[in-house]
Amino acid sequence: MGFDLAERRQAAALTQEGVDLFFKSVYNDALARFDAAIELDPSFARPYAAKAFCLMQLGNPREGLAYATKALELDPNNAVYYTTRGFLRHRLADDDGAVADFARAVELDPGDFRVYYNVACYWAERGDEAECRFNLEQAVELAPGHFATAMGSDPDLARYAGREWFHELLASLKERYSDKG
């Protein structure tokens, strides 16, 4: 599928606006940006994946799953899109499918800290401390410095925030990057 570069840039800008709104919990406005981006450039996978995650936050994982699957049809080697679909499958009680998607994500991009972090959040949600810890350790090993702040305040990991191993991971990140102003 070909695309017009100017339209792709506009779609990318709209998608980023949507992502920014999503992180401010302005979900309906975020959805509007994702829809506009999809209409402008239907071959661009990112707004489909972003809309999928937004729909999950709004309690509509079934519709979100369709958008995540479309994103993967357009960009089948994107590890982060597999983690998005994995979360949606989990919300729909398809944990076998979720685990398969998370495994595929790690296989596709074992060097991306976001992949391991998302897998860790999944296992935290499932209540599997050992799997959560293992994947979080992998994420921390690969993570950039700003990650320490995000990890320490992530509600997905709150159940383990009081654990000694969790504090040690945070401390190791902060120590590693404290002298890198």
Q: How many C-beta atoms lie closer than 10 Å to residue 94's C-beta?
A: 16
Distances (CA, A) of 72 to 1, 150, 169: 14, 27, 32
As for how many domains the chain has, the answer is: 1
In a domain, 39, yes or no: no
**Domain containing residue 129:** 114-181
Q: Which two tokens stand for residue 4?
A: 């017009």
pLDDT digits (tens, 9 = 90+) for 124-144: 999 999 999 999 999 988 877
pLDDT digits (tens, 9 = 90+) for 6-25: 999 999 999 999 999 999 99
pTM summary value:
0.87
In a domain, 156, yes or no: yes
In a domain, 37, yes or no: no
In a domain, 172, yes or no: yes
The pLDDT > 70 percentage for the chain reads 94
In a domain, 102, yes or no: no
In a domain, 101, yes or no: no
